[in-house]
Amino acid sequence: RQAHWLTEMPRRVDVVYSLELNEWQGEVRLQMNVKDMRRSIV
């Protein structure tokens, strides 16, 4: 639901995230929970 940001995103970003297990309707999946991001300086 945030696809409109795609055209404004830089080519490279630094991302802080955590990996979590998401259980919903009997299925367990690994998900990446993004905590923060910024334009990469490299």
- Provide the pLDDT for residue 31: 98
Instruction: Report how far residue 27's alpha carbon sits from residue 42's, in angstroms, rounded to the nearest whole number.
Output: 38
pLDDT, mean of each 10-residue run, the chain (42 residues): 81 95 97 93 86
Q: Give the residue carrying structure tokens 């690994």.
A: 30
- The tokens of 4 are what? 């409109």
Q: Yes or no: say if 17 and 32 are a contact pair by the CB < 8 Å rule.
A: yes
Q: Are 39 and 21 in contact (CB under 8 A)?
A: no
Domain boundaries of the chain, sorted by first residue: 3-39
pLDDT score, position 22: 97
pLDDT of residue 20: 98
3-state helix, strand, coil in the chain (%, to 5): 15, 60, 25
pTM of the model: 0.62
Q: Which residues pair with 34 in a beta bridge?
A: 17
Q: What is the pLDDT of residue 34?
A: 94
